Amino acid sequence: MKQVHLRMEDELYHELMDCSDMAGQTLQDCVREAVIYYISARKKNKKTKQEGQFTFIDLFAGIGGMRIGFERAGGQCVYSSEWNKYSQQTYFANFGEQPEGDITQVAASDIPEHDILVAGFPCQPFSIAGVSKKNSLGRATGFEDKTQGTLFFDVCRILKKKRPKAFLLENVKNLCSHDKGRTFQVIRESLNELDYEVFYEVLDGQNYVPQHRERILLVGFDRRRYGKDIVFEFKLTPKTPRPVMKDILDRDVDGKYTLSDKLWLYLQNYAAKHKAAGNGFGYGIAAPDGISRTISARYYKDGSEILIAQEGKNPRRLTPRECARLQGFPDTFKIPVSDTQAYKQFGNSVVVPLIENVAELMVEKIKDYHKPFAEYVKEREEMQNGY
């Protein structure tokens, strides 16, 4: 961390103090944020659409895992939003751009035009009180009624205003069963109301990284643009050979990642107690030639879900860099935050090469629809004839 000493006029200093008080931030954080926005704005002004084959926006961006996948597929990110200040720090370190903060405070009209909307939105239950009342009165309800007050509402209002060609939404596997299935039902109804054809599937990241990680992906295409006969399949191309744990591990690891005797004893006793009760809870030792359990945002607490055996020593937790590799991030990805924050960030992120593969499929589908019809038919006939 570097230090910079600034000189400024008294009037500017007092204005800065007022901004700091209104924002509830320290003077240092206020200045840092202003500098970041200045740098981000200058970089954005230098960009042109020709830099990418298509444009996309990155909502609930985290540390940019989805962005990397779509950039690798040929896209250019024209807007990003993420409220967590530590994730913003990591995002800026890697992309040179500060994501906008609270998306609920951003007008949809202020978001740039884009081809694809990308979002890893949080899973929240929808209130049905207002909807039930309208139903009892025989009045129709729309996504504004069903999703108001949730962050998914912000995805919908941006889709409605900007009408991108397509979108990709990512969430936990349990989205389908959340709130007894009502959450997923409302999501599908809302997207359908907005005139998007939706396809979804639960996909496992272990075909790309040595980790069992199931997430649901929802892909949608604009029916007003492409019609109602849209066909899309998650025909993925898994990585070969399939990665295993030893592929991502460092040889020399700092001793601070080795579990203390006290913590290791606690984890063993905890596992034994649950095993005796017939439960499957407990720590997990990842086999070098196998895959790991799913890494979560709580990994920073004790690392128990993914431990690495060590000869003659207690097991150790993964390092932040190994966690990055476990999610498919390149080694060039910068980690400017503490280990605790890094564990939370990678635990909340996505399997980058999986997202890249889905992005490629989406881009190919969009390209197909934008080709001259005769060319499109010819290609399909050649595929069917085995050429």
- Residue 53, exposed/middle/buried by CB under 10 A (0-12, 13-18, 19+)? middle
The maximal CA–CA distance of the chain, rounded, in angstroms, is 77
Distance CA 164, CA 155 (A): 12
| Strand residues in 61-158 grouped as ranges (E) | 75-80, 116-119
Q: SS3 breakdown of the chain: % helix, strand, coil, rounded to 5?
A: 50, 15, 35
Bridge partner residues of 77 (DSSP):
56
**225 alpha-carbon distance from chain centroid:** 27
Task: Give me 383's structure tokens.
Answer: 């595929």
Q: What is the pLDDT of residue 89?
A: 97
What count of other Cβ atoms lies within 10 Å of the Cβ of residue 387? Answer: 7
The DSSP call for residue 174 is: G
119 SS3 class: strand
Q: What is the pLDDT of residue 34?
A: 58
Residues involved in catalysis: 123
What count of other Cβ atoms lies within 10 Å of the Cβ of residue 93? Answer: 15
Q: Give the CA dihedral 334, 335, 336, 338, nearest 10 degrees.
A: -170
Mean pLDDT, consecutive 10-residue segments, the chain of 387 residues? 56 57 63 54 46 90 98 97 96 96 93 97 60 42 60 93 97 88 90 96 97 96 93 93 96 96 95 78 92 95 96 97 98 98 97 98 89 53 57
Bridge partner residues of 168 (DSSP):
118, 219
Task: Write out the DSSP string of 286-343.
Answer: PPTTS-B----TTHHHH-TTSEEEETTEEEEEPPHHHHHHHTT--TT----S-HHHHH
Distance CA 289, CA 334 (A): 27
Bridge partner residues of 202 (DSSP):
216
What residue spans of 227-276 are helical by DSSP H? 261-276
Q: What is the pLDDT of residue 79?
A: 97
> Mind listing the domains of the chain with CATH numbers?
47-242+351-378 (3.40.50.150), 245-348 (3.90.120.10)
Q: What is the pLDDT of residue 275?
A: 78
Report the side by side order of strands in the sheet with 75-80. 75-80, 54-59, 116-119, 166-172, 214-222, 196-204
* C-beta separation of 33 from 25 below 8 A: yes
Q: What is the pLDDT of residue 28?
A: 65
